[in-house]
Amino acid sequence: MNIYDLTVKNNKGEDVSLADYKGKVLLIVNTATRCGLTQQYEGLERLYEKYSAQGFEVLDFPCNQFAFQAPGSDEKIDSFCKLKYDTRFPRFAKIKVNGSDEAPLYTYLKSQFEGRIKWNFTKFLIGKDGTVKARFEPTQTPEKAESAIEQELSL
């Protein structure tokens, strides 16, 4: 199994195969709109703007699992992110990242880098080959991933 075997739901409820992102460098992030770390959307958008033309994507998975900090519908979350942070990267349906009903994507990601997701804005870097290259904890800003992103894009 690899990341390209997985299917997720976009924020309109439609199936999206992660195979659609084959050959790209991905930063997969569980996010929240009412979290002390929500301002990380600014850094995520800056990375996306800087590297998207080179084959980089940020995949945003809102998660209401931590202190209910991602309330509202997928549509409201998307609207908030676009209006407040001018985000342009893909946003998906709200998911769970821990527990018996966690999303299969996060079961896979955690199998590559052990440990529960501790909070919102945990970031996983996926190489062009679809393998998980790094995990960045919530307190690590998106900018901390930049050199690793550049390295993966240069391969």
**Residue 114 binned pLDDT confidence (cut-offs 50, 70, 90):** confident
Q: What is the pTM of this model?
A: 0.96
Which residue out of 35, 59, 95, 134 is catalytically annotated? 35
Torsion from C-alpha of 44, 58, 31, 143, nearest 10 degrees: -30
- pLDDT per position as a tens digit, 56-93: 999 999 999 999 989 899 999 999 999 999 999 999 99
Q: What percent of the chain has pLDDT over 70?
A: 100
Return d(Cα 145, Cα 19) in angstroms, integer. Answer: 23
Question: At residue 35, does pLDDT exceed 90?
Answer: yes
Domain range for 36: 3-154
* Count of structural domains, the chain: 1
Q: What kind and span of H or E run contains 148?
A: helix 146-154
**Interacting residues of 149 by C-beta distance below 8 A, sequence separation 6+:** 25, 27, 47, 51, 56, 125
pLDDT at 1 > cutoff 90: no
35 is a catalytic site residue = yes
Q: What is the pLDDT of residues 125-151, one digit of tens each?
A: 999 999 999 999 999 999 999 999 999
Q: How far apart are CA 7 and CA 108, in angstroms?
A: 12
Pairing of strands 123-126, 132-136: antiparallel
**In this structure, what CATH number is given to the domain that contains residue 111?**
3.40.30.10
